[in-house]
């Protein structure tokens, strides 16, 4: 018992001594897990000024009067349904990532906004403009006209490990800047598990709620490892399953914004694939389920040029394992256009390696986009020839060809056309190029029939011009 008392006295003395030493020195960012267990306050004090609140507004028009243009009822009900501007407001968070005022946030927070205000936690406010916004990645880079701003350093998200302590900083529910703690719960989250089949995420159990979108997920050194973007929930509140876009992708967005790009340019694979499950692995002769089996290749695909064939299983990209198509695209995207990337694939049970050039989707053959004029049937309809660039922009199937609707216009939308519809015939006229559409519609009028494809289904649209 005496030994136990002595040990307790020694531990108490050490703790007391540690407290005295800390009280004599200024707070600093914790350097270890042992130190972080004492307090998050120094870490938050250093990182929080770079996390901002974002207030975005968008002006939309209310519905038009059904009597507009009517010679009798139009005058009688002139104020009924009069188009009036209505303001849509959104609230989110953002992170300053450079001292000269570059800010990153989510596309769904700022992507369609007409007016964006960035508010720092010291109450300074700045007008911001969107440099790059990408709905597919749900990222946007903003710029504010300011210098010597507080900012967060980006960490290489490939070095993040499951179990690391993290903090989520943002503005949930508009209550003001809030900090929550947790750990990295998982890596390489993609597909239906996240509710976003095209994304690639870091998973955390740090509580993330509405308004946290665009905020920072930081490590215990105060470096940003991701941008908080979504939660998995049935109730609308946080259930401890949140997702952050890795900092590696943020870095590529920032580089392109600095280069003056106005839209995010991602490498084109020109391929489709699917994850390898247990059943597929047996048929492919693999020792275990892994990788992405290539199911289709475009003739101009850089993977095909590098020697990869349909049926090959890609297991590594840039030295990192990949198990979903979203992971493949992520690894290619963070590498950037104009570079090449090492790929490891398995063919007939043998591992092989190759280098793949990272290129933009070719705009070849020329798209020859056509927009119908005011005197045309379906004025405002815009169509183009399908090529790899158009396929990537509209998310069409890989080897689709023909003439596609880029923008249906008000009249085209009214008769049932949508972006991505492939027009095959107008009445008896076969549509082979964008320039065929206008003349065919004029000759078919007044009773027009359009044969089109949508999502692999054939549809017939009939209307009177």
For 335-373, how does the pLDDT look when each residue is reduced to its tens digit (9 = 90+)? 999 999 999 999 988 999 999 999 999 999 999 999 999
When pLDDT is cut at 50, 70 and 90, the band that residue 284 belongs to is confident
For 49-64+85-144, CATH number? Answer: 2.40.10.10
In Å, how far are 124, 262, 424 from 259, measured between CA atoms?
28, 9, 40
Instruction: Please determine, for residue 379, whether its predicted confidence score (pLDDT) is greater than 90.
Output: yes
When pLDDT is cut at 50, 70 and 90, the band that residue 433 belongs to is very high
Q: What is the mean pLDDT of residues 108-123?
A: 88
CA distance between the termini of the chain:
99
When pLDDT is cut at 50, 70 and 90, the band that residue 9 belongs to is very low
Tens digits of residue pLDDT in 205-219: 888 877 788 999 999
For 157-258, CATH number? Answer: 2.40.10.10
How long a stretch of residues is the chain?
Answer: 465
Instruction: Please determine, for residue 88, whether its predicted confidence score (pLDDT) is greater than 90.
Output: no
Instruction: Tell me how far apart the alpha carbons of residues 323 and 307 are, in angstroms, rounded to a whole number.
Output: 20
Determine the distance from the C-alpha atom of residue 22 to the mean position of all C-alpha atoms in its chain, rounded to a whole number. 43
In Å, how far are 102, 374, 386 from 365, measured between CA atoms?
37, 28, 8
When pLDDT is cut at 50, 70 and 90, the band that residue 8 belongs to is very low
Q: Which of 68-72, 289-293, 406-410 has the lowest mean pLDDT?
A: 68-72
The contacts of residue 206 (CB under 8 Å, 6+ apart) are 166, 167, 168, 180, 181, 182, 183, 217, 242
The pLDDT of residue 176 is 75
Instruction: Please determine, for residue 443, whether its predicted confidence score (pLDDT) is greater than 60.
Output: yes
Strands (E), 22-78: 51-61
Long-range (24+ apart) CB contacts under 8 A made by 387-390 are: 387/361, 387/362, 387/363, 388/268, 388/270, 388/298, 388/300, 388/361, 388/362, 388/363, 388/364, 389/360, 389/361, 389/362, 389/363, 390/363
Residues of the chain with CATH 2.40.10.10: 49-64+85-144, 157-258
State which CATH number among 3.50.50.60, 3.60.70.12, 2.30.42.10, 3.10.129.10 fits the domain covering 271-357: 2.30.42.10
The pLDDT of residue 78 is 52
The pLDDT of residue 35 is 61
The pLDDT of residue 210 is 76
Instruction: Please determine, for residue 457, whether its predicted confidence score (pLDDT) is greater than 60.
Output: yes
Give the mean pLDDT of the chain.
84
Instruction: Tell me how far apart the alpha carbons of residues 273 and 325 are, in angstroms, rounded to a whole number.
Output: 6
- CB neighbours (10 Å) of residue 445? 15
Phi, psi of 416 (to 5 degrees): 115, 0
Q: Which of 100-104, 277-281, 407-411, 416-420 has the lowest mean pLDDT?
A: 277-281
Residues of the chain with CATH 2.30.42.10: 271-357, 370-464
Instruction: Tell me how far apart the alpha carbons of residues 258 and 103 are, in angstroms, rounded to a whole number.
Output: 12
Q: What is the mean pLDDT of residues 119-133?
A: 92
SS3 category, 261? coil
Q: What is the mean pLDDT of residues 108-120?
A: 89
Tens digits of residue pLDDT in 135-170: 988 999 999 999 999 999 999 988 999 999 999 998
Tell me which residues are annotated as active site. 108, 138, 213
Q: Are residues 92 and 105 in contact, defined by beta-carbon separation less than 8 angstroms? A: yes
Nearest-Å Rg of the Cα atoms of the chain is 28
The pLDDT of residue 199 is 64
When pLDDT is cut at 50, 70 and 90, the band that residue 333 belongs to is very high
Does the domain spanning 370-464 belong to CATH 2.30.42.10? yes
SS3 category, 121? coil
Instruction: Please determine, for residue 12, whether its predicted confidence score (pLDDT) is greater than 50.
Output: no
Q: What is the mean pLDDT of residues 188-194?
A: 56
The pLDDT of residue 202 is 92
Instruction: Please determine, for residue 398, whether its predicted confidence score (pLDDT) is greater than 70.
Output: yes
Tens digits of residue pLDDT in 404-419: 999 999 999 999 999 9
Instruction: Tell me how far apart the alpha carbons of residues 383 and 420 are, in angstroms, rounded to a whole number.
Output: 9
Structural tokens at position 309: 């064939």
Q: What is the mean pLDDT of residues 265-287?
A: 90
Read off the pTM: 0.78
Determine the distance from the C-alpha atom of residue 321 to the mean position of all C-alpha atoms in its chain, rounded to a whole number. 21
DSSP assignment, residue 64? Answer: P
The pLDDT of residue 177 is 83
């Amino acid at each position: 018992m005496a030994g136990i008392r002595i040990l307790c006295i020694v531990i108490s003395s050490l703790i007391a001594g540690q407290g005295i030493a800390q009280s004599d020195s200024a707070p600093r960012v914790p350097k270890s897990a042992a130190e972080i267990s004492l307090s998050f306050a120094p870490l938050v004090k250093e990182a929080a000024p770079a996390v901002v609140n974002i207030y975005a507004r968008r002006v939309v028009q209310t519905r038009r009067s059904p009597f507009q243009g009517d010679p009798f009822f139009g005058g009688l009900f002139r104020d009924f349904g009069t188009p009036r501007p209505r303001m849509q407001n959104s609230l989110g968070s953002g992170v300053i990532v450079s001292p000269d005022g570059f800010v990153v946030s989510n596309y769904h927070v700022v992507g369609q906004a007409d007016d964006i205000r960035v508010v720092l936690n010291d109450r300074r406010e700045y007008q911001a403009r969107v440099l790059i916004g990408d709905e597919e990645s749900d990222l946007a880079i903003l710029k504010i006209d300011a210098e010597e701003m507080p900012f967060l350093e980006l960490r290489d998200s490939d070095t993040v490990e499951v179990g690391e302590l993290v903090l989520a900083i943002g503005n949930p529910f508009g209550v003001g800047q809030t900090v929550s703690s947790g750990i990295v719960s998982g890596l390489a989250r993609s597909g239906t598990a996240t509710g976003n089949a095209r994304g690639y995420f870091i998973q955390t159990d740090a509580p993330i709620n509405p308004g946290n979108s665009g905020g920072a997920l930081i490590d215990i050194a105060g470096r940003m490892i991701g941008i908080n973007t979504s939660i998995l929930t049935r109730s609308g509140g946080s259930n401890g399953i949140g997702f952050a876009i890795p900092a590696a992708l943020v870095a590529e967005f920032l580089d392109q914004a600095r280069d003056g790009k106005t839209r995010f340019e991602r490498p084109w694979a020109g391929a489709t694939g699917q994850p390898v499950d247990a059943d597929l692995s047996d048929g492919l002769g693999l020792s275990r389920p892994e990788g992405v089996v290539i199911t289709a290749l475009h003739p101009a695909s850089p993977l095909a040029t590098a020697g990869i064939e349909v049926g090959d299983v890609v297991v590594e990209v840039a030295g990192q394992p990949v198990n979903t198509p979203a992971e493949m695209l992520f690894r290619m995207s963070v590498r950037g256009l104009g570079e090449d990337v090492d790929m490891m694939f398995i063919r007939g049970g043998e591992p092989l390696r190759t280098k793949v050039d990272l290129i933009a989707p070719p705009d070849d053959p020329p798209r020859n986009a056509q927009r119908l004029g005011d005197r045309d049937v379906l004025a405002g309809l815009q169509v183009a020839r399908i090529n790899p660039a158009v396929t990537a922009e509209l998310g069409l199937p890989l080897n689709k060809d023909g003439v596609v609707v880029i923008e249906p216009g008000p009249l085209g939308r009214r008769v049932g056309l949508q972006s991505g519809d492939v027009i095959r015939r107008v009445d008896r006229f076969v549509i082979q190029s964008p320039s065929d559409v206008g003349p065919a519609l004029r000759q078919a009028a007044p009773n027009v029939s359009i044969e089109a494809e949508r999502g692999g289904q054939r549809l017939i649209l009939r209307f009177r011009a």
